[in-house]
Structure 1
Amino acid sequence: MAEAAADPPPAPTLTARQPRAIHSALTVLEAVAALGAGVTAREISATLGLPRATTYRLLNLLVQDEFLVRTPDLAGFALGAKVVQLAAVAAPVRLPTAARDVLAQTRSQVRGGVHVVVFSGGRLSVVDADPDFPLSDGVRLAREPERFALGRLMLVSDDPGTARRATTEPRAHMLAAAADDLRRHGATRQMGEVLPGFGCLAVPIRDAQGSVAGAVGFSGPQHRVEHPQAVVRLLRPAADLLSPLLT
């Protein structure tokens, strides 16, 4: 006679302490979003009033599950790809028709990729990536925004604590150069650091108060980014027209 099938293992149950741990982990995610990419464990611990050991434990778990990532200098943390993906599914941004018309006209004039992003709470969301010249690495853009002109614009414009948290000389130099580019050219730049021979730049989209709310980005041959005047002249009117449509 055939043996009876074994009973399935019991479903896992929550202990009394687990809901509190889940709540703490979500609170840490909210803190990273509010404080911005590069925030340190010590800053999170102080902001939330959590013991430092608990903070480190929660951060390590969130990194393991890809909800957070470590910044390249390993000194801080940023939102991971999973959070970005969830946010995109929960609240996808759709360009209004007038904005799509502006973007189509701009792309017809610029030989290269033209992309639109918005900034919110220290996060970068791609609203429209050029289908003919795709972003080189959208996931890396979300994880390491300082590696791209779009992310550098967000960091130097939308996060007053960026300079304070730039604890390593390479990152501090990178952000200082981005701020200088913004003053000199009206755009941030990246040249040959992600793909040899190619670069990108980002022109700010400002809201009615003059704050940087997003950007129109260009990706293409490095020499056009090294001498950005021609590209900026084409993107600046587009950014101005997109401002009231996106902010």
Structure 2
Amino acid sequence: MSGVDRGVTGRQPQAVRSALAVLEEVARAGAGVNAKEVAEALGLPPATTYRLLNLLVGEEYLVRLPDLHGFALGAKVAGLAGGFTPARVPTAARQVLGELRGRVRAGVHLVLVVGASLRCADVDPDLPLASTALVEGHLHASALGHLVLAEADDWRAVVHHPDRLPALTPATPTRAAEVDACLARVRAVGWAGQVGQLHEGVGCLAVPVRGASGLLVAAVAVSSARGVVPTEYLDAARDCAGALAPLLD
């Protein structure tokens, strides 16, 4: 009979369990894991694994990496995590961000730093980030991530599978020497910048927000689709970070 909810019946519970197992395996293995590796780890038939991966991509729980060589967690997973741990940004801090947004012709974003993790806390509503999940999940490929990795004694201990960094674009640093060079520049100048490493044609600069103890607690990012690092806004971003520091410490 149509219109009657019969609940979860037949083979559906196993299908749900298999889909969740695939999602958990991608989270465990890290970005760049491929269908064959997921199938082998779970003991699932390859055809079933491909079908479940495609389903999870279609529902935005996973994303297929641009090089088509693997998968990563998607926006909906980040949204679920965010629902349990909402980012709290003081009203005064939002006002500071609003002032900078009114002065620049680029996206202005606040990202909180918790340990070695990023949390996009206040994304520019007019010029938003293309994917907060990619920003939070691929520290090797963004200016914000480079700030975090530059704080670590050994960045290889921070990222998942440092020997298999996914190429999100042709410009993404995927070799250890390339990441080392990016982090050396950050340590030398005190801020991070990149073009096309996370999204082709998008440039970004990131300025640290430090607490009274010097600990990195957040970062202000300025992003532009002009294909260059928007360094003309560096001083303004630094002023913004300075104003935010006592509000976020």
Class of the TM-score when normalised by the shorter of the 2 chains: 0.5 to 0.7
Equivalent residues in 2 for 1:1-247, closer than 5 Å: 7-8=1-2, 11-15=5-9, 17-33=11-27, 36-41=30-35, 50-51=42-43, 53=45, 56-57=49-50, 58-88=52-82, 91-104=85-98, 106-107=100-101, 112-118=106-112, 125-131=119-125, 134-135=127-128, 138-143=129-134, 148-150=142-144, 159-161=158-160, 163-166=162-165, 171=172, 172=174, 175=179, 178-191=182-195, 199-205=203-209, 214-220=218-224, 225=229, 228=231, 231-236=233-238, 238-239=240-241, 242=244, 245-246=247-248
Q: Is the Cα–Cα contact under 8 Å of residues 155 and 162 in structure 1 kept in the other structure?
A: no
Q: How many residues align?
A: 233
Greater helix fraction, Structure 1 or Structure 2: 1
Q: Is the Cα–Cα contact under 8 Å of residues 113 and 219 in structure 1 kept in the other structure?
A: yes
Q: Give the TM-score taking structure 2 as reference length.
A: 0.63
Q: Give the TM-score taking structure 1 as reference length.
A: 0.64
3-state SS in 1 of match to 2:42: coil
What whole-Å deviation, never above 9, does each CA across 1:151-189 have from its counterpart, x for those lacking one? 665678784235312266854167555434423333332
Q: Is the Cα–Cα contact under 8 Å of residues 211 and 246 in structure 2 kept in the other structure?
A: yes
Distance 2:108 2:238 in 1: 12
Distance 1:240 1:15 in 2: 57
Alignment RMSD (CA, Å): 4.6
What whole-Å deviation, never above 9, does each CA across 1:32-74 have from its counterpart, x for those lacking one? 445543344566568xx52254783443331233210111222
Amino acid at match of 1:100: R
3-state SS in 2 of match to 1:93: coil
Unmatched runs of 5 consecutive residues or more in structure 1: 1-6
Q: Is the Cα–Cα contact under 8 Å of residues 147 and 206 in structure 2 kept in the other structure?
A: yes
Unmatched runs of 5 consecutive residues or more in structure 2: none
In structure 2, relative to structure 1, the CA distance for the partners of 1:52 and 1:130 (3 Å cut) is same
In structure 2, relative to structure 1, the CA distance for the partners of 1:59 and 1:222 (3 Å cut) is closer
- Structure 1 or 2, whichever has the larger Rg, is 1
Amino acid at match of 1:61: L
